[in-house]
Structure 1
Amino acid sequence: MAAGDGLEELTLTVKWSGEEYTVRVCGDDSVAELKRRICEATNVLPKRQKLLYPKLANRLSDDSLLLSQFNFKPSIKMTMIGTVEDDIIVDQVDSPEIADDFDLGQDEVVDCKDKEVNKQKLQRRISQYKIKLLNPCRKGKNLLVLDIDYTLFDHRSPAENPQELMRPYLHEFLSAVHAEYDIIIWSATSMKWVELKMGQLGVLNNPVYKITALLDLLAMITVQTDSHGTFNCKPLGLIWAHFPEFYNSKNTIMFDDLRRNFVMNPQNGLTIRPFRKAHLNRSSDQELVKLTQYLLAIAELPDLSVLDHRNWESYTEDDSKRPRHRSRI
């Protein structure tokens, strides 16, 4: 496949553990996206995969490269070496740490959100990813999308009981906001870990509030910028496309400790303070208490996207009437 044929579809046969799996990608997909598709077929997490193809093994370790740069034939075979994670908690402790987040300038935000290649990636993800509802969507409710790691849970600190690493006031927070918001949890980890951790924390079977759905890393898309290279993000358009009669850009807000995850929908993201070192900070962390007040204060507004969520702590009702100026996410 020649470079520039970004929309041409490739059919790959991936050999792993004595079996062959068919994976379909496009030239404008990155190696990271290829690994995500392989994960869908094999359940081997992208970070556990090593792809082998004659003369290209080293280059296939660079997740940022586009498949159009490899001049693959339309139908190829490669080998994958990797292990399915059975011990999900060990997997999380062993996962790479993101040292810090980064800001994107307004031009880069607009470029990512409006770039045709990213819109196409989103459309493909919409067609491929199936959202399983745990509880029905409720007409007339807003939507709150929540990250897990460092947002609801300190996944790095050691503990004998997961409850020790849960962010303070989590159940009180979810109980209060459930009156006005449907709640979807979206983590950049595997679905097995999401289900395990939320189950251990008592989030999935709470009698007071209900979780609408769980999303995992396979729902994310990969985008590329000049200043920060390739990274994954969480496009809310995936949820809006699946449930257009319930959710849209006007009634959705998303909490995440990484600003980069909002790049496809910067007007809907609120950067929460990361919850780290739980044993030291759980007695003083008030983030969810304050965010409860904010969410309930804005719940009746006709359009949540007009708010500048960076200034949520100083929000007053008059803020919703002022023009917003969001130069960075």
Structure 2
Amino acid sequence: MEVKEVVVVVKWSGKEYKIVDLTDQDTVEMLRHEIYRKTQVRPERQKLLNLKHKGKPAADNVKISALELKPNFKLMMVGSTEADIEDACSLPDDIGDVVDDFDDAEDRDESVENSAVYLAKIQRRVRDYKITELSKPRAGKKLLVLDIDYTLFDHRSPAETGTELMRPYLHEFLTSAYEHYDIVIWSATSMRWIEEKMRLLGVANHTNYKILFYLDSNAMISVHVPERGVVDVKPLGVIWALYKQYSSSNTIMFDDIRRNFLMNPKSGLKIRAFRQAHLNRSKDTELLKLSQYLRKIAINCKDFSMLNHRKWEHYDPKKS
């Protein structure tokens, strides 16, 4: 199936917004999601005035290919952002707190992982997303990709300093991991907040380890899941295409939200969320335990894609 890229220009509130992350196989629902990412007008608040299908307003399940849009089609939109949305945009998170998760991500049909539409979006990221290296990849190292919020840092609790909200043993964990892994930070927020948080936590310039690079929300892609609608995920293919030394055989990703692994379910390990830092700081040992797991699989496992990370606490090299 040939997948064609589509560009739509949205005219709203006296400005024009170019929506480029679309293909002809995406639906109107995906278009609405991409408009939301650009304008912060929620999909249910969007009135798309001149988007028609068979003489009627296009339904969300209609494919863009069926709309027969002209190149750089200009879409007229009416819609308002609400005060609570504006407030959310001012916080150090671009997408808000996620409650629901996909507990069956590893068992999901591979049609999501291998869909031509989503592979086309990954190719666009590979082509257009600019990675700024903070250090150089090291020969023979595996790859560890880490989320920030609720994985390394409790970003919701009040505190006077960042160290109060830092997950216990963070620097010991990163120092240990650095022996066998190049480390990438990937957060579903903006780059400026990633840089600020890493500075705040003392990760950016630590003497015992180095970070390879940061990835932000712009490196993510949107996918449609029938029972949940459109969600943003972190496709490791963006990294693998640019850095050929990494692949599913030597990459592991930690995140507290399983749906972020939707494109690469076998490479993801769902970490226990670190919340209420002031109450849990004295008893949270998750990073110490995960350090041991990372070391064991780095030494004993030649192909990470053969591992079941859901059972990481019971990993036994002798039985693998």
Report the Cα offset of residue 188 of structure 1. 1.0
Alignment of 1:107-256 (within 5 A): 108-244=108-244, 246-256=245-255
Q: State how 1:62-73 maps to structure 2 within 5 Å.
A: 67-68=64-65, 72-73=69-70
- How far, CA to CA, are the matches of 1:144 and 1:37 in structure 2? 32
Aligned partners of 2:44 and 2:176: how far apart in 1? 41
Q: Does the 8 Å contact 1:35/1:49 carry over to 2?
A: no
Q: CA deviation at 1:103?
A: 2.1
* Cα separation, 1, equivalents of 2:309 and 2:105: 17
In structure 1, give the amino acid aligned to 2:24: G
Q: TM-score, normalised by structure 2?
A: 0.82
Deviation per CA, 1:236-294, whole angstroms, max 9, x where unpaired? 111000000x2111110110111111121111111100001111101100000000011
Measured after TM superposition, the shift of residue 113 of structure 1 is: 1.3
* Corresponding position of 1:323: none
Structure 1 residues without counterparts, runs of 5 or longer:
321-329
Moved more, 180-189 or 98-107: 98-107
Task: Give the deviation of 1:46 after TM superposition.
Answer: 7.8
Q: Tell me, in whole angstroms, the C-alpha distance in 2 between the residues paired with 1:242 and 1:248.
A: 11
> Measured at CA, do residues 221 and 137 of structure 1 come closer, stay the same or move farther in structure 2, by a change above 3 Å?
same
What's the TM-score, normalizing by structure 1?
Answer: 0.80
Q: Structure 1 residue 73: deviation in Å?
A: 3.7
Q: Say if 1:123 and 1:225 are closer, same or farther in 2 by CA, change over 3 A.
A: same
CA distance in 1 between partners of 2:62 and 2:164 (Å): 40
2:8 to 12, 24, 28: 12
User: Which of residues 72, 92, 100 is equivalent to 1:75?
Assistant: 72
- Partner SS, residue 222 of structure 1: strand
Q: Compute the displacement of 1:133 (Å).
A: 1.0
Pairwise CA distance, 1:75? 2.6
The offset of 1:15, in angstroms, is 4.7
State how far apart, in whole Å, the 1-side matches of 2:212 and 2:86 are: 26
How many aligned positions are there?
309
Whether the 8 Å contact between 1:36 and 1:46 is mirrored in structure 2 is: no
Change (3 A) 1:23 1:90: closer
Q: Closer, same or farther in 2 for the Cα pair 1:113/1:132, shift >3 Å?
A: same
Do the aligned residues in 1 keep the contact of 2:250 with 2:304 (CA within 8 Å)?
Answer: yes
> Which deviates more from structure 2 when the two are superposed, residues 139-148 or residues 223-232?
223-232
Measured in 2, the distance between the counterparts of 1:21 and 1:100 equals: 30
Q: Are 1:6 and 1:27, in contact at CA under 8 Å, matched by a contact in 2?
A: no
For residues 250 and 175 of structure 2, the distance between their equivalents in structure 1, rounded to whole angstroms, comes to 19
Residue of structure 2 equivalent to 1:282: 281
Using the alignment, how far apart are the partners of 1:21 and 1:256 within structure 2?
Answer: 31
Question: What is the percentage of aligned positions where both structures have the same residue?
Answer: 48
Q: How large is the Cα RMSD of the aligned pairs?
A: 3.5
**1:327: which partner in 2?**
none
Structure 1: how far apart are the matches of 2:308 and 2:202? 32
Residue 8 to residue 306, structure 1, CA distance change in 2 (3 Å): closer
1:234 partner letter: K
Question: Structure 2 vs 1, CA of residues 208 and 35 (structure 1 numbering), >3 Å: closer, same or farther?
Answer: same
Q: Extract unaligned runs of 5+ from structure 2.
A: 52-56
Mapped contact 1:36–1:218 kept (Cα < 8 A): no
Shift, 1:190, TM fit: 1.1
TM-fit CA distance, 1:51: 5.8
For residues 113 and 174 of structure 1, what CA distance do their matches in structure 2 show?
29
- Partners of 1:49 and 1:212 lie apart in 2 by 39
